[in-house]
A and B are shown apart, each in its own frame.
Chain A
Amino acid sequence: MTRLEARGVSVRRGGRAILDDLSCVLEAGSFVAVVGANGAGKSTLLSVLAGLMRPDGGGVWLDGAPIHRLQRQTLARRRAYLPQSPRAEWPISVERLVALGLTPHLPAFGDPARGLEPRLTEAIAACDLAAQRQQAATTLSGGELARAMLARALIGDPQVLIADEPMAGLDPRHAMDTAGRLAALAAGGKLVVAAVHDLTLAARHATHLLALREGRLAVFGPMAQVLTPDLVRVVFEVDATISGVGVQTRVDFTATD
């Protein structure tokens, strides 16, 4: 059972606390939606959880081991990370882009493609990209690129997927599609941590909610228990009505004066 734990994580930049004494335990099988207003520290928290940023205070443990002590390659095999709106810098084919996700699995030398062909085909099919396989990644639409990046992250079969706003900029169908994929991964025993802006989407697909307010943990717990109008008011400073349960949940905002 994969277990990602943050203990007393603090990050300060320019005298300001971006994250302040934040602790949480995230376990395999859950899809944790990280929510918060702009500047609440979501991206920073995800970078710290991914082991890409050393916090100024506290630390992160992956299955009991301090994450910054793990070898880069070992860590890269166990967790995948997708930054906000990732893009391809060269017009390489979708196939090659997805295959880059296998970088930590490759021997230092030798032909990268050898023996990995079935895995590549599987990852491309799983993200619905068979038709775009040979297309240049720079010519993909936003939805296609997001799927390609997701395939890139998942091809290495990581235990933990950390994604910074994977649904941002996607149209409703593709956003729902992506959220569904993340939920399916969690149901399959992975740990998925994703920053999500759309509360309805988060409520419908994620199992847990982690809400940040000005760098502090506002709440962390199972979605059905912690998502309340009160929480929304505290975190986003807007009134909200929450209706329905499970995949029928709806979060509507009403302006406060």
Chain B
Amino acid sequence: MTGWDKAAPGLAAALLLLAAAGSLFIGRVDMPPAEVLRALISPEPSLAGLVITELRLPRAILAILVGAALGLSGAVLQGLLRNPLAEPGLLGVTSGAAVGAVAAIYFGLTQVFGLAAPVMGLVGAMAAGAVTFAFGRGGTLSLILAGSAVSGLMAALLALALNFAPSPYAAYEITVWMLGSLSERSWDHVVLVAPFIVVGLAVLGRMGRAIDALALGEVQAASLGIDLDRTRLMALVGVGLAVGAATSVTGAVGFIGLVAPHLVRPLVGYEPSRTLVPSALLGAALLLAADIATRVIHTSSELRLGVVTGLVGAPFFFWLILHLRRTAP
């Protein structure tokens, strides 16, 4: 090990700061940096000030929260399952959140109440997490199987909603929501999901010791005093709260949770607990960067966040497969 393991959190934090600054300074509306700074500091209201404090700032904060939720959840799940392909959607909460939000659109609740989609998304994520827990108790394999069964059911419900969409417009709205986006998100969204994400992150952040011991396999971890049932429950609750809330407000955003831990791992000597904080920071930085990309790449209709992370993340996935094939015995 070199000094990298000590430097990794700092490096990830620096990237995050850079991306956060970029997110404030770069946008659809061209604004000279001096004006952005003045808008951030000066209390007097101005158009530039409104753009920064009411549009870009909440959007950046939301990107940080969601990215951190995805990055940390990915790191914890990969550590828990000792599987480099584990990702936050594995436990069914992501698709549960999608079903909740889509139900809000389907039944027209979003027309009545602006935050209906994220609120219903939260409900959907919690319900999906509860079902996964009910069926997945007692073992890691049953937890994964329950998660994939719940994901399958939720995918069917999404298809059902599209099938019976009340109008082509509703179908379009549902499809677009599922592509993931951070545009038109306000402080209301931040206030709604931040508590869930923060509590989720706090739960996941305490799992370092358990996933370190799991590097020796489940039996040895248990012999070292790790309560495996409690560990699995903590992972489900943490991922359910953090990723469930994140997905309910942004829609499905893939690959961040898969990629961030992989980029961090070699720098920290593969120690599972040391991947946690840098993965959260890097996840946030990656999501900010992806969101900036949706703003600077000018397209006829808005380029969606989930599309960007997918397009950038999928090639990484191919690389990962090749890499695993080379290194696996």
Residue numbers of A with Cβ under 8 A of B are: 50, 52, 72-73, 75-77, 79-83, 86-93, 96-97, 100-101, 103-104, 106, 108, 112, 134, 136, 152
Contact = CB atoms under 8 A, between A and B. Distances in A.
B301 interface: no
Contacts of B220: 81-83, 86
Contact of B209 (A75, A93, A106): A106
A253 B295 CA distance: 78
22 contacts: A72-B225, A75-B225, A77-B225, A79-B223, A80-B223, A83-B217, A86-B217, A89-B82, A89-B215, A90-B82, A90-B270, A90-B272, A91-B270, A92-B215, A92-B270, A96-B269, A97-B215, A97-B216, A100-B213, A103-B212, A103-B226, A152-B216
A39 to B, nearest CB: 19
Name the 10 nearest CB pairs between A and B, nearest first.
A76-B225, A81-B223, A89-B82, A72-B225, A73-B225, A104-B225, A103-B224, A90-B270, A83-B219, A91-B270
A52 B219 CA distance: 8
Contacts of A52: 219, 222-223
Nearest to B212: A100
Nearest to B78: A90
A96 B269 CA distance: 9
Interface residues of B, number: 21
Given A75-B225, A103-B225, A104-B224, A87 B269 contact: no
Interface centre among B82, B216, B219 (most CB of A within 10 A): B216
A88 B269 contact: no
Given A86-B219, A103-B226, 20 more contacts: A52-B222, A52-B223, A76-B225, A77-B225, A81-B219, A83-B219, A83-B220, A87-B217, A88-B215, A89-B216, A90-B272, A91-B270, A92-B270, A92-B271, A93-B1, A97-B216, A103-B213, A103-B224, A108-B209, A152-B216
B19 interface: no
B54 interface: no
Contacts of A89: 82, 214-217
Contacts of B188: none
A101 B215 CA distance: 11
Interface centre among B223, B225, B269 (most CB of A within 10 A): B223
B227 interface: yes
Contact of A93 (B82, B213, B227, B269): B269
Contacts of A93: 1, 269
A75 B223 CA distance: 8
Contact of B224 (A90, A101, A108): A101
Contacts of A96: 269, 271
A11 B120 CA distance: 48
A52 B214 CA distance: 15
Contacts of B223: 50, 52, 76, 79-81, 83
B235 to A, nearest CB: 16
Contacts of A80: 223
A75 B225 CA distance: 7
Contacts of B225: 72-73, 75-77, 103-104
Nearest to A50: B223
Contacts of A91: 270
Contacts of B1: 93, 134
Interface centre among B209, B217, B225 (most CB of A within 10 A): B225
A77 B269 CA distance: 26
A92 B214 CA distance: 12
A61 B21 CA distance: 61
Interface string B252-296: 000000000000000001111000000000000000000000000
